[in-house]
């Protein structure tokens, strides 16, 4: 089967990113947009566009019935969800399937299984993927919680099974704090996710966040495209991602890649996925979560593996046999997230009009963005303006190229993270690759 028309259930740079690949594949595209996005580029560049509701996400990009109707009216045979919004919504995947529209991503059952962090972890553990020592699944009594914490040893971390991305976590340093933290974690989880279930893990101090990109076709072919190091984050918002990871060795990549592939094969996964690991200072790695979507930072992988991951996703969804293994990675890629935020004021959102714009270019510079001069960044959605992706033959070349590209980048009218990135590139720890998830708190304390 091959798709004639794909509806993109998203906005911003990722909608444009998917449209670009569809055009290269000769597939027609349908954009959906909210009333706040009438002048957005994904609307301009798609073959057709359907307005699906008011500005608020829950009345437009999150409204399953409107999106399915838009697909019906335009005769789209598949939906690409991008990232965020409905990308990891099991009901959406299910409703697409029931409506005879191919969801470009995994089945509802797969999304549900990986969405429950305790089930995901247990599934990986049973298939020999290393996991952080801790409880076997949900802990529902205080006594059991204390007993497990005692066994794995303090500090421990209490996590919500419905959480992920840092929401509803509590670190406990000693037993006398346990009761309070346990109660708070459960109350918070119930309030945030309508699911108060929690599980417990040994707390790994100052880990790196290293994730493996996988791609799985419908015939059991599973490949990995190496790793991305996403340790430069602030409040669980990634700011810089790179591939390869400065801590990676051939052997560690082989081990992490094999673990990721084993996990995917065990669950019969389909499509693009990311297996997130924590890596400690001894280079031990532990499974944390699986993301069942294409991620914001996928371009760094594309640059070093010379692969179009959106194209691969579409081919796999069409039922193509993807039996060509990735080639060896080449060079180094770093992504800088340019957000409409003020880095001098706690990264406070700074939506508004781009009064003037000059973007960088030249060899090894890729800019994935949906903005143009006079474009107004709406306040309703995420603050991503652009992803600047730099490729160099090694990390040092990539850093030097990134400095010159950021020097060419001018955005006037609002505050952006560009000055923050320039400072990071002057930081000796970043430059030497000596950083972990505490990097921003340690070196950029406000």
In the bound complex, what is the minimum distance in angstroms from residue 232's beta carbon to ligand MV4? 9
The count of residues interacting with ligand MV4 (CB under 6 A) is 17
Query: Is-contact 278 123, C-beta < 8 A?
Result: no
Of 165 and 379, nearer to ligand MV4 (C-beta) is 165
In the bound complex, what is the minimum distance in angstroms from residue 245's beta carbon to ligand MV4? 13
Of 170 and 421, nearer to ligand MV4 (C-beta) is 170
304, 332, 364 from 393: Cα distances, Å: 9, 6, 9
Q: What is the DSSP string of 293-331?
A: S--TTHHHHHHHHT--HHHHHHHHHTT-----------S
CB contact set of 189 (below 8 Å; sequence gap of 6+):
160, 161, 162, 163, 168, 195, 196, 197, 198
In the bound complex, what is the minimum distance in angstroms from residue 436's beta carbon to ligand MV4? 9
Q: Binding ligand MV4 by CB under 6 A: which of 38, 147, 236, 348?
A: 236
Of 28 and 170, nearer to ligand MV4 (C-beta) is 170
Query: Is-contact 415 343, C-beta < 8 A?
Result: yes
12 scored as a contact of ligand MV4 (CB under 6 A): no
CB contact set of 151 (below 8 Å; sequence gap of 6+):
none
Q: Is omega for the bond preceding 67 within 30 degrees of 0, making it cis?
A: no
Tokens for 240?
């810089």
289 scored as a contact of ligand MV4 (CB under 6 A): yes
Q: Which stretch binds ligand MV4 (CB under 6 A): 57-65, 160-168, 211-219, 356-364?
A: 160-168
In the bound complex, what is the minimum distance in angstroms from residue 121's beta carbon to ligand MV4? 10
Of 199 and 305, nearer to ligand MV4 (C-beta) is 199
Of 6 and 424, nearer to ligand MV4 (C-beta) is 424
Indicate which residue of 17, 293, 366, 395 is catalytic. Answer: 293
In the bound complex, what is the minimum distance in angstroms from residue 236's beta carbon to ligand MV4? 5
CA torsion, ordered 296, 200, 89, 378, to nearest 10 deg: -50
Q: Binding ligand MV4 by CB under 6 A: which of 123, 135, 233, 292?
A: 233
Strand partners, 291: 274
Q: Tokens 């009333």 correspond to what residue?
A: 35
Residue 293 known to be catalytic: yes
Q: Give the integer Cα–Cα distance in Å for 35 and 79.
A: 21
Of 38 and 235, nearer to ligand MV4 (C-beta) is 235
Residues present in the chain in total: 446
In the bound complex, what is the minimum distance in angstroms from residue 89's beta carbon to ligand MV4? 19
Q: Binding ligand MV4 by CB under 6 A: which of 86, 198, 288, 390?
A: 288
Q: Do β-strands 5-8 and 28-34 pair in parallel, antiparallel, or remain unpaired?
A: parallel
Interface residues for ligand MV4 in 90-149 (CB under 6 A)? 132
Of 204 and 318, nearer to ligand MV4 (C-beta) is 204
In the bound complex, what is the minimum distance in angstroms from residue 243's beta carbon to ligand MV4? 16
Tokens for 206?
């100052």
350 scored as a contact of ligand MV4 (CB under 6 A): no
Burial letters for 161-185: b for 16+ Cβ neighbours within 10 Å, e otherwise? bbbbeeebbbebeeeeebeebbeeb
Of 132 and 212, nearer to ligand MV4 (C-beta) is 132
H helical segments located in 324-427 = 395-408, 418-424
Q: Binding ligand MV4 by CB under 6 A: which of 81, 82, 115, 164?
A: 164
In the bound complex, what is the minimum distance in angstroms from residue 211's beta carbon to ligand MV4? 9
Binding marks (x or -) toward ligand MV4, 179..218, rule CB under 6 A? ----------------------xxxx--x-x---------
Mapping DSSP to helix (H, G, I), strand (E, B) and coil, where does residue 161 land?
A: coil
Q: Binding ligand MV4 by CB under 6 A: which of 72, 153, 166, 379?
A: 166
Q: What is the DSSP string of 91-148?
A: HHHHHHHHTT-EESS--HHHHHHHHSHHHHHHHHHHTT--B-SB-SS---SHHHHHHH
Binding site for ligand MV4 (CB under 6 A): 132, 157, 164-166, 201-204, 207, 209, 233, 236, 278, 288-289, 437
Looking at the annotation, which residues are catalytic? 293
């Amino acid at each position: 089967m091959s798709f004639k028309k794909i509806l993109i259930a998203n906005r911003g740079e990722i909608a444009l990113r998917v449209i670009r690949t569809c055009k290269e594949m000769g597939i027609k595209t349908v954009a959906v947009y909210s009333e706040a996005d009438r002048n957005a580029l994904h609307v301009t560049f798609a073959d057709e566009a359907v307005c699906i509701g008011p500005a608020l996400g829950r009345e437009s990009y999150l409204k399953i019935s409107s999106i399915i109707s838009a697909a019906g009216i335009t005769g789209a045979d598949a939906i690409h969800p991008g990232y965020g919004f409905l990308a990891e919504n099991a009901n959406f995947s299910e409703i697409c399937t029931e409506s005879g529209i191919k969801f470009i991503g995994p089945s509802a059952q797969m999304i549900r299984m990986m969405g429950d962090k305790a089930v995901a972890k247990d599934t990986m553990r049973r298939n020999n993927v290393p996991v952080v020592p801790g409880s076997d699944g949900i802990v529902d009594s205080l006594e059991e919680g204390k007993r497990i914490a005692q066994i794995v040893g303090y500090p421990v971390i209490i996590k919500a099974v419905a959480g992920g991305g840092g929401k509803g976590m509590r670190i406990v340093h000693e037993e006398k704090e346990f009761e309070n933290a346990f109660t708070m974690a459960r109350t918070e989880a119930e309030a945030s996710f309508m699911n108060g279930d929690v599980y417990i893990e040994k707390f790994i101090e100052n880990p790196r966040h290293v994730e493996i990109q996988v791609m799985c076709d419908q015939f059991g072919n599973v490949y990995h495209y190496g790793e991305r190091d996403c340790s430069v984050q602030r409040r669980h918002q990634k700011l810089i991602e790179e591939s390869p990871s400065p801590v990676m060795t051939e052997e560690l990549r082989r081990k992490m890649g094999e673990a990721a592939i084993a996990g995917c094969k065990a669950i019969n996964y389909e499509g693009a996925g990311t297996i997130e690991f924590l890596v400690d200072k001894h280079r031990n790695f532990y499974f944390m979560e699986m993301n069942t979507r294409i991620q914001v930072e996928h371009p760094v992988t594309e640059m070093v593996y010379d692969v179009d991951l959106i194209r691969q996703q579409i081919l796999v969804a069409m039922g193509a046999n993807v039996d060509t293994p990735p080639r060896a990675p080449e060079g180094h890629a770093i992504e800088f997230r340019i957000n409409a935020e003020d880095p001098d004021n706690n990264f406070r959102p700074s939506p508004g009009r781009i009064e003037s714009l000059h973007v960088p270019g030249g060899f090894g510079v890729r800019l994935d963005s949906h903005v143009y001069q006079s474009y107004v960044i709406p306040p309703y959605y995420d603050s991503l303006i652009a992803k600047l992706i730099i490729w160099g033959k090694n990390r040092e070349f990539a850093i030097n190229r990134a400095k010159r590209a950021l020097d060419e980048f001018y955005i006037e009218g609002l505050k952006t993270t560009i000055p923050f990135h320039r400072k990071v590139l002057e930081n000796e720890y970043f430059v030497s690759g000596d950083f972990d998830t505490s990097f921003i708190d340690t070196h950029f304390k406000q």
